[in-house]
Amino acid sequence: MTGYLRLVGQFVAILLLFSAVVAFANWPIYRQTPEGSAIVVLTFIHGADRKGECRQRSPEEMAKLAPNMRRTLDCPRGRRPIYVELDLAGKNIFSATLPPTGIAGDGHSRVYRRFVVPAGQYEIVARMRDTPRTEGFDHERKETVTLAREQMFVVDFRSESGEFVFR
Amino acid sequence: MIGTIRSIFRRGFEWVERPLDWLFGPALNPIAQLGALGFFFFWIVAVSGIYLFIFFDTGIERAYESVESLTNNHWYHAGVMRSFHRYASDLMVVMLVTHLLREFAYDHYRGTRWFSWFTGVPIIWLLYTSGITGYWLVWDKLAQYVALVTSELLDWLPIFGEPIARNFVSTGTLTSRFFSLMVFMHVAVPLFLLFAMWIHILHISRPKMNPPRALAVMSLIALVVASIWNPAISQGHVDLAKAPVAVGLDWFFLPLYPLTDLWGNGAVWAFLGTFSLMLGLMPWLPPLRRAKAAEVDLAHCNGCARCAEDCPYEAIRMVRRSDGLPFPTEAQVNASLCVSCGICVGSCPSSTPFRRSQELRTGIDLPDFPLQRFRELTVETAESLDGKKTRILVFACEHGGGAGHLTGVVPLPCVAMIPPSLIDFVLSKKLADGVAVAGCAKSACFNRLGVAWTEQRFAGERDPYLRTRVPRNRLKTIWASALEASRFEGELTAFAKQVAAIPEVPPALPQTIISALSSEPRRMPEGSVP
């Protein structure tokens, strides 16, 4: 093989490799969800009440504490877990007890779940219990929505106003 | 089992490498330049990245617009640079994966090579992190997909108080600061990557950090052609109200992302953790059994530093003389880095079989296969050829195609262990009619530099030289891999025929001398020649 021919062969070999790399850098297309589906995302961060009520410290108890630690109220640090449910078209698709975050269990409870559903009209119900009660719910929202194809429908909770937000 | 897998991979590489050896020649073969090409593509990515940063805007809306502008309005320079940046990154992944598999296939990861293998594991993580952060910056649909999946993966770990993925499911939650953070990460992580790459090659003597110029130029031109043929483009502006359901995935950087849908995030983390752990532990699964490290004999070392110069593993360094002899330095072996390849023995000027000492000693030697035994084995093997029409003595690397040859073979850990004077010894003493030196394939030397040093010594380009009096027509080098045994046999037969055709075949060495060399060491009268 002559020098020039060999050089051309070398270049073609490199070009073929690079072309293959370039092709696989964008192709084949990956479809994350089936055609005609929408995504419902349930996500929020919300802290439930503290586990117990605050209580007044007695003068004796105060005296035992270091001067910079002498707060009159003794409040338990840990928060209660939150119970949450999500129904879609009358079927429960998610229910969970969300523990508080943090090593001491004093952080907010959090959730992030994605549900792939066919596009269409649905009745969506979100419920939450964030108090000591064991029956019923403290917050609930029910709405009939039409989910378009590829729509990202978010079920959020706004702690400030204490209500579920659908967007 | 690992040995079987390794053997299958090795066959695969041989199958690809040998034709490429033919096309490119061993010096230009890209498969033998994977590490150097990895560095080369890193620099292309770095330079093109700096160039692109001039045009990039780190605003929530401006990020996408600036990338679109540089791609479409300035396609002839910035657009090409974007493609350069993207595809050179992909090529870096290709080089990294192929390099890793090749080192595994050729068993280049155990023993003293554990360091380079082990430090290669963080490089994988850093390279992937660099690439993934880069995809976020474009802020197109692919960026949205990458952001969602990555944040969901990170959220699975119990280290963040708030789910990061919340930022990417609805509009209004993200600010421009996010892009500033991503730019910072996309600059900082590659810097760590470069640092890790430097650590990776610390224990390698003469690491190949630049590919041969011809290969670099061809790669650069091919990259330009590929970038113009299929330029890197965005996949449409992010719309956080819509899910990125179908994206053109970069299968080099994001092959695991679809698995999060199939397996779930926990399983992907388990896979990544197990894979990294296994990869990190591989040098000890099982550990390589090594011969004893080379030892320096100060009485025969004049501190010439040739052994330190030739060692492919940085296992020898020159230190201040400790025995009072009038030389400034002496060689010192770091046993933890020595693989007992014997290249230092071949480089030592004291390693001459003509020496008249009672016991053949040299400045640096292998305790398990000393030069004395090497010479004895050479003489014994040559003796076994007596009676053959053409006596061809083969010095064969145990990793090459000649290792399986049945007769007249002196097996060696590396052919560069042969002191050139030993060839002279064999031919001048007429122990054989011809000498064949059979090493690994030229582009895949097990000890990296064994083939190069042997060729240079024989060509008189590297100390110690093969003396000019050695008839070159009686010496043949055959570079063949273990899977090229038939080619080796073919070349050996042709060489035997060539030697047989040389007129005046020299008579054999007198039996008395051969016996003297083969027997146990004994005191020789001063001035006598063994």
Confidence of residue B320 (pLDDT cuts 50, 70, 90): very high
Q: What are the pLDDT digits (tens) for B59-79?
A: 877 899 999 999 999 888 888
In this complex, which of B24, B241, B243 lies closest to A33 when CB atoms are compared? B243
* Of the residues B254, B284, B314, the one at which a domain ends: B284
Domain count, chain B: 2
Q: Measured between CB atoms, does B163 come within 8 Å of chain A? A: yes
Question: Which of B135, B239, B249, B254 is the mutation pick for testing A, counting most A CBs within 10 A?
Answer: B249
pLDDT reported for residue B514: 59
Chain A residues with at least one Cβ partner in B under 8 Å? 6, 9-11, 13-15, 17-19, 21-33, 37-39, 41, 43, 45, 101-102, 107-108, 110-112, 114, 150-152, 154, 156, 167
CATH of the structural domain A37-51+79-166, one choice from 2.60.60, 2.60.40, 2.10.25, 2.70.50: 2.60.40
* Residue B159 contacts A where some CB pair is shorter than 8 Å: no
Complex ipTM: 0.86
How far apart are alpha carbons B394 and B378 in whole angstroms?
Answer: 9
Q: Two tokens at B337?
A: 């880095």
- B252 and A21: CB-CB below 8 Å? yes
Domain ranges of chain A: 1-30, 37-51+79-166
Same domain, B356 and B472: yes
Distances (CA, A) of B144 to A39, B135, B237, B243, B253: 14, 9, 9, 8, 15
Report the gap between the CA of B240 and the closest CA in chain A (Å).
7
What percentage of chain A exceeds 90 in pLDDT? 66
pLDDT band at B382 (very low <50, low <70, confident <90, very high): very high
Buried b (16+ CB within 10 A) or exposed e, B359-371: ebbbbbbbeebbb
Domain match, B50 and B134 both: yes
User: Does residue B523 lie within any of the structural domains?
Assistant: no
Which amino acid is located at B351 in the chain? S
Domain end point (choices B259, B284, B309): B284
Q: Measure CB to CB from residue B242 to each of A29, A101, A152 and give the nearest one.
A: A152
Interface contact flag, B230 A43, Cβ < 8 Å: no
* CA separation for the pair B276, B287 (Å, rounded): 18
pLDDT level of residue A1 (50, 70, 90 thresholds): low
Average pLDDT, chain B: 90
* pLDDT tens digits for range B508-528: 555 566 566 555 444 444 433
Band (pLDDT 50/70/90 cuts) for residue B406 is: confident
Three-state secondary structure call for residue B521: coil
Name the minimum distance, in Å, from the CA of B441 to any CA of chain A: 19
B181 and B275 assigned to the same domain: yes
A113 contacts on B by Cβ (under 8 Å): none
The partner residue sitting opposite B23, judged by closest CB among A13, A18, A29, is: A13
* Å between A73 CA and nearest CA of chain B: 27
Please state, as a whole number, how many other Cβ atoms lie within 10 Å of the Cβ of residue B389.
8
Q: Which two tokens stand for residue B109?
A: 């990861």
Q: How far is A131 from chain B (nearest CA, A)?
A: 21
Domain housing B394: 295-518
| DSSP code for B506 | P
CA distance B189 to B124: 12
Q: Which of B91, B169, B221, B443 to mutate to test the interface with A (most CBs of A within 10 A)?
A: B169
Closest Cβ opposite residue B223 in set A18, A33, A107: A18
CATH number for the domain spanning B92: value is 1.20.810.10
Does any domain span residue B526? Answer: no
Query: Is residue B343 domain-shared with residue B446, that is, in the same domain?
Result: yes
- Which helix H or strand E contains B387, and what residues bound it? none
Contact of B20 with chain A, judged by CB distance below 8 Å, is answered with: yes
Q: How far is B254 from chain A (nearest CA, A)?
A: 10
Q: Are residues B342 and B254 both part of a single domain?
A: no
Stated pTM of the model: 0.85
The answer on B427 and B451 residing in a single domain is: yes
Residue B252 has its nearest CB partner, among A10, A17, A25, at: A25
Co-location of B364 and B498 in the same domain? yes
Q: What is the mean pLDDT of residues B164-185?
A: 84
Domain assignment of residue B290, yes or no: no
pLDDT digits (tens, 9 = 90+) for A53-105: 888 999 999 999 998 988 888 888 888 899 999 999 999 999 999 999 888 88
Residue B528 domain-assigned (yes or no): no
Same domain, B300 and B278: no
Please answer whether residues B382 and B367 qualify as being in contact, where contact means their C-beta atoms are separated by less than 8 angstroms: no
**B172 neighbourhood in chain A, CB within 8 Å:** none
> Any CB–CB contact under 8 A between B231 and chain A?
no
Q: Please tell me if residue B162 touches chain A, with a CB cutoff of 8 Å.
A: yes
Last-in-domain residue among B220, B253, B284: B284
What pLDDT, on a 0 to 100 scale, did the predictor assign at position A20? 95
Which residues neighbour A55 within 8 Å (Cβ) at sequence distance 6 or greater? A73, A74
Residue B529, in any domain of the structure? no
Flag whether B117 is in a domain. Answer: yes
Answer yes or no: is B525 within a domain: no
Tokens of B424: 């002279």
Contacts of B379 (CB under 8 A, 6+ apart): B431, B514, B517, B518
Q: What is the pLDDT, as a whole number, of residue B405?
A: 75
Residues B419, B407: Cα–Cα separation, whole Å:
22
